[in-house]
Amino acid sequence: MHDHNINHAFLDPVVSGAAIDTYYHLGVRSDDPVLEAFRDVRAVVLAGTRERVVDLAAQWSDRRDGAEVIALPQEDRFVTRYCDTVLFASHGMGIPSASIALHELMRLLYYLTAGDLARLDDVFWARVGTCGGVGLEPGTVVVSTEAVMADLTPLHLHAGTAGEVGFVGRFSSDVARSIASLGAPAGIPVALGRTVTTDDFFLGQLRLDGALRLGTPAGRAAWLRGLAAADVRGIEMEGAVVAGLLNSWGFSRIAMACAVVVNRLDGDQIDLSAEQLSDFGRRAGDLVLTHLARSNR
């Protein structure tokens, strides 16, 4: 872990009990007794939506002999579940939302592990989501090696009072390879490669079906060709900040698996049926939970 990047001034008094931390968007405080059941946490699985979090926790419970699923009661911002050493949490859509979720979850993890860096280093983090595929058919799962910005810079850039700070977008390569290797035996098509994280779904991903149309078909095609040539397999909206913030603390096991819902080389609109969306959405979770079941205990 990178001890120097951890906000000890704020977090250590919470661990000692001298201060209470309010995880405002998770809807819980550090002195809430419900958190005692979370103390054995060894993994955090993130997803964009409430439905995916609830489904992932239920699937994990099934794999763990029906272990109890505990919910944090407040759900108006993020949705959180805990089941047998795994914390499941939603992060909403986009970098600003995911950043808020990550800050509060990292603070919570520090509190739950009593600031024990060895225990923190053992925590596995994964984002399970969807993405636009770059030359990949819907249903393929993109396992990310690295999140890059739209211009291929391999960072999440934050512009603040201290100037511009770059957070490294790398995912753990051994974990990525291990998750990707689970695709073939499960009959799930997998692509291993880089992912672009954008801060908008329409203009930021050079779609031509937004309310505004700023780009041209030729510009769009050239961008996508450039992505393909740079080993980018998927386009999504949170990976760089998830990897960036987790890398800043030095977590060593960080992964992202996203199911393709549209091949961007074919178009912009996502017109899958509800069944396809649900089936494809589950695939990324299946791979991550299988990896977790095999590696974490």
- Binding residues for ligand R2B, rule: CB under 6 A, are 48, 93, 129-131, 201, 236-238
DSSP 49: S
Contacted by 180, from ligand URA, ligand R2B, none: CB < 5 to 8 Å by type = none
DSSP 24: T
User: Nearest approach, Cβ of 219 to ligand URA (angstroms)?
Assistant: 17
Any contact of residue 235 with ligand URA (CB under 6 A)? yes
User: Nearest approach, Cβ of 287 to ligand R2B (angstroms)?
Assistant: 17
Any contact of residue 27 with ligand URA (CB under 6 A)? no
Closer to ligand R2B at the Cβ: 83 or 224? Answer: 224
- Specify the 3-state DSSP secondary structure of 66: coil
CB 218, CB 143: distance < 8 Å:
no
Any contact of residue 132 with ligand URA (CB under 6 A)? yes
Any contact of residue 202 with ligand URA (CB under 6 A)? no
Closer to ligand URA at the Cβ: 6 or 131? Answer: 131
Largest CA distance in the chain: 59
Any contact of residue 195 with ligand URA (CB under 6 A)? no
Single out the residue of 30, 85, 90, 130 in contact with ligand URA (rule: CB under 6 A): 130
| CA dist list (Å): 20 to 30, 102, 128 | 6, 19, 31
86: CB partners within 8 A, 6+ apart: 41, 42, 43, 44, 45, 57, 60, 292
Query: Alpha carbon 18 to chain centroid distance?
Result: 32
Any contact of residue 261 with ligand URA (CB under 6 A)? yes
CB 90, CB 79: distance < 8 Å:
yes
Single out the residue of 144, 195, 205, 248 in contact with ligand URA (rule: CB under 6 A): 205
Contacted by 93, from ligand URA, ligand R2B, none: CB < 5 to 8 Å by type = ligand R2B
User: Nearest approach, Cβ of 279 to ligand R2B (angstroms)?
Assistant: 16
Closer to ligand URA at the Cβ: 39 or 213? Answer: 213
Do β-strands 190-197 and 163-168 pair in parallel, antiparallel, or remain unpaired?
A: unpaired
Closer to ligand R2B at the Cβ: 27 or 133? Answer: 133
Query: Which span sits near ligand URA by CB under 6 A: 58-66, 96-104, 125-133, 145-153?
Result: 125-133
CB 297, CB 41: distance < 8 Å:
no
Any contact of residue 144 with ligand URA (CB under 6 A)? no
User: Nearest approach, Cβ of 286 to ligand R2B (angstroms)?
Assistant: 18
- Segments of 39-101 assigned E as strands: 43-47, 70-71, 80-83, 86-90
Backbone φ and ψ of 144, nearest 5°: -85, 135
134: CB partners within 8 A, 6+ apart: 224, 227, 228, 232, 233, 234, 235, 264, 265
User: Nearest approach, Cβ of 123 to ligand URA (angstroms)?
Assistant: 26
Site residues (vs ligand URA, CB under 6 A): 130-132, 201, 205, 235-237, 261-262
